[in-house]
Chain A
């Protein structure tokens, strides 16, 4: 199977097979990713995250339908769900909410498990997204449970990140507790037909007011990026995440949400932020890869016995972890 050729020409079985290889990080996957990279960079990447119970999947379903029916854009959906930390298995149930998209050749839905990774999730997701981008999908929606750092890392992959809240899930804003409010470009209050929606909105607004910086800094999903003056359109307005109410089960608020996403894209392009974000996105990816590569090489260069011996010495409090690292890195014995 020539993955690169087959994926470019629209062979869906080859695409599905390649996604599996990519998830398992095989040599065939690496080769295909290298071959496909020049075909990437067209797709709009949208992250949708939020606590369980906020209705993310049905929101994604509605958004995808909008892109298909109203804008005739091809949509790929990556739905990420947690693996059991004990058994490593997972039940991936996001497709249940997306039956409206069945039978549409312009849609491709792929479920992914987190597989208990630390940062490996973001890399695998980035690779999956690249394959969809190269395959010609116009929009790639990445849906994750916003519960941890790895989801924040996934959010950094997207151009536009939507954080979903819902009323009645407790007094606090779930997104704040999960630490993902900062990554939001858009905030959605789903299940807006439920009581408490005004309170949820008010709470989100006050959090946004607190977070509003007094001076213009470039933020890519909550991180201050170093940007040279020549890249910045100084006249550009700051983007403050708008809040949109939706009732995803009834399709209400979706057109408005799509319009806000489009506004965000326009903002990114006009302000020069798109290029900055692309750069930041790719830098994050590159750094992740470099880090993984360095760790792998380091592990290969160290004899397990040497490593174990030093670990034993740390355990006996003969040497501190910092000194141990120095000795491992320099090959010297302390």
Chain B
């Protein structure tokens, strides 16, 4: 079964949940990131739109992901992020690293980091940066 074992040079396959919490109407950005992560060799579970924090935490658990990527364009990140972090913790998934991308004002960065969010990416962020940061976060 050599084919299914992970390539020792590459390490385990990184599993990432890409989720759109809240009421955002479009997901083009999330899909761009999902494809970029796939092209970097990761397995991306994409949830689709209008996910509640409970749905996201449930998917993160069932899929045993290493990383959760939240895409939030509506500005609701300060309400959604703490709820999701809390649910991940109560499900026993404290090792999961959470990233947020979308429309995030600079003044919220600090509080998000304090909550335990690993990375925050605004509209100008490059997928290379995200990929690099995800790999670092999982390895660390």
Contact = CB atoms under 8 A, between A and B. Distances in A.
| Contact residues on A (Cβ < 8 Å of other chain), bracket | 35 or more
A252 interface: no
B55 A17 contact: no
B38 A108 contact: no
Interface in A1-42: 12-13, 16-17, 19-20, 23-25
Interface string B42-71: 111111100010110011011110000000
A103 B64 contact: no
A91 B35 contact: yes
B46 A93 contact: yes
Given A13-B91, A117-B3, A92 B44 contact: yes
Nearest to B36: A89
A195 to B, nearest CB: 28
B120 interface: no
B104 interface: no
Nearest to B63: A111
B64 A87 contact: no
B61 A92 contact: no
A12 B58 CA distance: 10
A95 B13 contact: no
Contact of B38 (A25, A90, A121, A292): A90
A111 B15 CA distance: 10
Contacts of B15: 20
Given A13-B91, A99-B55, A123 B4 contact: yes
A71 B62 CA distance: 23
A123 B1 contact: yes
Main secondary structure of the interface of A (DSSP, over half): mixed
A95 B4 contact: no
A193 to B, nearest CB: 23
A257 interface: no
A116 interface: yes
Contacts of B48: 93, 95-96, 99
Nearest to B93: A13
Nearest to B91: A13
A233 interface: no
Nearest to A11: B92
B2 to A, nearest CB: 8
Contacts of B34: 91
A116 B2 CA distance: 11
Interface of B: 1-7, 10, 12-13, 15, 34-35, 37-48, 52, 54-55, 58-59, 61-64, 91-93
Given A96-B46, A111-B63, A115-B13, 8 more contacts: A24-B4, A89-B37, A89-B42, A89-B44, A92-B43, A93-B48, A123-B1, A124-B4
Interface of A: 12-13, 16-17, 19-20, 23-25, 83-84, 87-93, 95-96, 99, 102-103, 108-111, 113, 115-118, 120-121, 123-124, 292, 296
Q: Closest 5 interchain pairs by CB?
A: A96-B48, A89-B38, A120-B4, A117-B3, A16-B64
28 contacts: A12-B62, A16-B61, A16-B63, A16-B64, A19-B64, A20-B64, A24-B5, A24-B6, A25-B4, A25-B5, A83-B43, A89-B13, A89-B37, A91-B38, A91-B44, A92-B46, A93-B48, A96-B47, A99-B48, A102-B55, A109-B59, A110-B63, A113-B13, A117-B4, A118-B3, A120-B1, A123-B4, A124-B1
